[in-house]
Structure 1
Amino acid sequence: MNYFRKDLKVLRSMTNISIYNPEYVREIVSQLRNKYSSVNRSDFVIGSVINKPLFDFIIAVILSQNTSDRNAIKAYNNLVKLFGSPLDPVKLLESESSVIINAIKPAGMYSKRYRWITDLAKLFVNKDFVENLVEYVKNNDVDDSRRKLLELPGIGYKTADVILLIYFNKPSFPVDTHIMRITKRLTSLRSLEYEDVRMFWMNNLEPSEYFEVHILLITHGREICRAKKPLCEKCVINKKCRYYSKM
């Protein structure tokens, strides 16, 4: 695979992660596919907005930051009840702050989210801005598109990668807390940073697999590889896991 080869060399030199390879990852993914063959994407907030305009998609992903998808879906649906589907940024800006805050409270961090949502709405009322943003991301490579998205209010690396992968179908791999935890346990390398984990999966998977594996890993993290008291004996990939081998 030629994707991001230079970055993989850097990662290997930093972490000794070269002992892991596409064959190793394929075995892990195969086991996870067998285990979670019936994953329902509607359980994820992105399932609610996958065919919606970009404004809705970004708002939903922002609502999912540092909370459960269940809470994010509830908060997003509250906004839809108030401002229509798709969400109308004009109506949102005309609303009282207390109305929006009450709607998004299920997701938590409502003061920050309120500020990000209203700042985004101020941008998205401008159709030229939206068209230019969409065209820029469509016509530029992943790195440039990522930098452009990171300029938006409330957008960090994970949110930018979710937007790139799922909304724009660009080859990027979002890393949430579950994926970070699973990767650290598999490799026994606790010093891994976001970009290390992202590049590990990107270089050991085909781009067409990114979305599926992203969902599989999150599901595994929720059900088995939990932060506290992981269910290692029930884990279908425990034979590949350094964390388990050291128990």
Structure 2
Amino acid sequence: MARMTRSATARETALLAAQMQQKEAQPSIRATTATSGGRPMKRNGIVGEPAHKRLKTTGRTTRMNDAQELPHNLVSATLLSELQDKSAPIKLDTRDTTIKKEEIDALSNTLQNTVDKATKAASGPREKEKRSKKTNTYGLTPGISPFPDWAHPTTDECEEVNRLLSTVHGEIVAPTTIPEPSLTVTGCGEVPSVLDALIRTLLSGATTGNNSAMAFNGLVQRFGILKEGVGKGSVDWDAVRRAPLKDVFEAIKRGGLADVKSKKIKAILDMVYEENQQRRDMLLKGSQDAPQDLLTKSEGGKQYEIACADQNFLSLNHLHSLATEDAMVELVKYPGIGPKTAACVLLFCLQRPCFAVDTHIFRICKWLGWVPPDKATEITAFSHLEVRIPDHLKYSLHQLLIRHGKSCPRCRAITGQSSAGWEEGCVIDHLVKRTGKRKGGSMASTEEVKPNGRKRRG
């Protein structure tokens, strides 16, 4: 509808333009008939211009209606005012004019194309800005399995695996309180501060626990711990934010992947700083457009958040007040933070039931038949298992499957019958069908030998 309206306007404007061009040409035509001795009459350099149409100014002659003409010379100021007056009908003068339809169509199309290009140019940057701010959700489907026809795992299957693994690795119970942060062990988010948990978990990715601990300790040694104020005892993340990238790289280089992780850390801290300042401004102004968690925050909570921002204490602790799905969306928007890292922060720091899927869990869940082995990825497996696994088992199964995937001679990555300890068996051996690369061969054997000498299909 908007396009049709603009097109009609362009056609009317084109018709007016054509008429104006014809009227401007008419005096020149009449001037050829007003001759003196067969020559056109000239008055003050203007052919055929009557004296009463001229206005004398300082040293030059000007047409009386020049001041009313627009730069593009399509519509006079008088006519423009009539067009702007919606109550005034548009009058098109068709007397003594012969205007071809093709000419009108061509000029109308030209005008419309010009308007469209200008509109696109004006709206383009805004549309690009909106796209750049779009939250990256990694294709997650909260509350909905990407494999709705895959009926595993059932609650009974989860209970059985949890029971069997507990006999080997001990019973796992989620802590009721979060321990004080360690300055020597990075962990996977088991700290009170959400920002601490996020960066600790980022540092622990794709490396060993020892390496990630060295990286975190490097940050502590170089940038220090806050000695006073609202963030007392926490890493001085604002000092990390303000430091040159090279300094951050040097601080964490012993942990591996320092080039990538230092850039991610700096980018995350910049974003958190900006968000903290924006939230502070909203609180001070009492903005009604503020996020819901700000509108419902207690007065003491508001003052605490303002104090944090005033002292440049970087914080993501407001995520504690968000629903699990909303907190997940907020976390994965930060550079380098995928569903696995975000889920660990939710599980260990925010203490929400959340089944984080790492490489060990993904491997064993495929062998257990809990996800489609040929279709699932770590991300789709997370979405599926988050729906299928009961909340009360998410913490313990996460911990048990990781321990088992690291220690079991049969369930570690790239193992086979020639692996050390293979003969010891596996407590969930009767439930799994191992696939993928194996030690001593390119693919898993379809036949395995149990410690008692019996064969089973696997």
Alignment TM-score, normalising by the size of structure 2: 0.46
One-letter identity of the residue aligned with 1:181: R
- Unaligned 5+ segments in structure 1 are none
The separation in 2 between residues aligned to 1:98 and 1:7, in whole angstroms, is 43
One-letter identity of the residue aligned with 1:226: R
Mean Cα deviation higher: 203-212 or 170-179: 203-212
Q: CA deviation at 1:190?
A: 3.5
- Is 1:149 the counterpart of 2:331 in the alignment? yes
Q: CA deviation at 1:238?
A: 0.8
User: Whose relative contact order is higher, 1 or 2, with alpha carbons under 8 Å and at least 6 apart?
Assistant: 1
Contact preservation (8 Å) 2:368, 2:433: yes
Higher strand share: 2
Mean Cα deviation higher: 121-130 or 178-187: 121-130
- Is 1:61 the counterpart of 2:201 in the alignment? yes
Contact preservation (8 Å) 1:75, 1:105: yes
Q: Taking structure 1 as reference, are residues 157 and 212 closer, same or farther at Cα in structure 2, changes over 3 Å only?
A: same
- Is 1:36 the counterpart of 2:186 in the alignment? no
- Quick check: which has more Rg, 1 or 2? 2
Match of 1:168 in 2: 350
CA deviations over 1:27-74 (Å, ceiling 9, x no partner): 1111111111188x9997326x52342222111111111112221122
Give the one of 81, 85, 94 matched to 2:221.
81
Match of 1:206 in 2: 390
CA deviations over 1:182-204 (Å, ceiling 9, x no partner): 11122172321224422443344
The separation in 2 between residues aligned to 1:51 and 1:87, in whole angstroms, is 12
Contact preservation (8 Å) 2:346, 2:354: yes
Q: CA RMSD in A?
A: 3.1
Match of 1:185 in 2: 367
Contact preservation (8 Å) 1:71, 1:107: yes
**Equivalent runs, 1:1-247 vs 2, <5 Å:** 7-8=144-145, 10-13=146-149, 17-18=150-151, 20-37=153-170, 45-46=186-187, 50-85=190-225, 86-125=234-273, 127-128=276-277, 134-135=317-318, 137-187=319-369, 189-224=373-408, 225-229=411-415, 233=423, 234-243=425-434, 246-247=457-458
One-letter identity of the residue aligned with 2:223: F
Provide the identity percentage.
24
Q: Taking structure 1 as reference, are residues 102 and 227 closer, same or farther at Cα in structure 2, changes over 3 Å only?
A: same
- Unaligned 5+ segments in structure 2 are 1-140, 176-181, 226-233, 280-304, 306-314, 435-447, 449-455
The separation in 1 between residues aligned to 2:192 and 2:432, in whole angstroms, is 38
Contact preservation (8 Å) 1:142, 1:170: yes
Higher helix share: 1
Report how many residues are paired: 237
CA deviations over 1:144-187 (Å, ceiling 9, x no partner): 32122111122111111111222112232111111111111221
One-letter identity of the residue aligned with 2:162: V
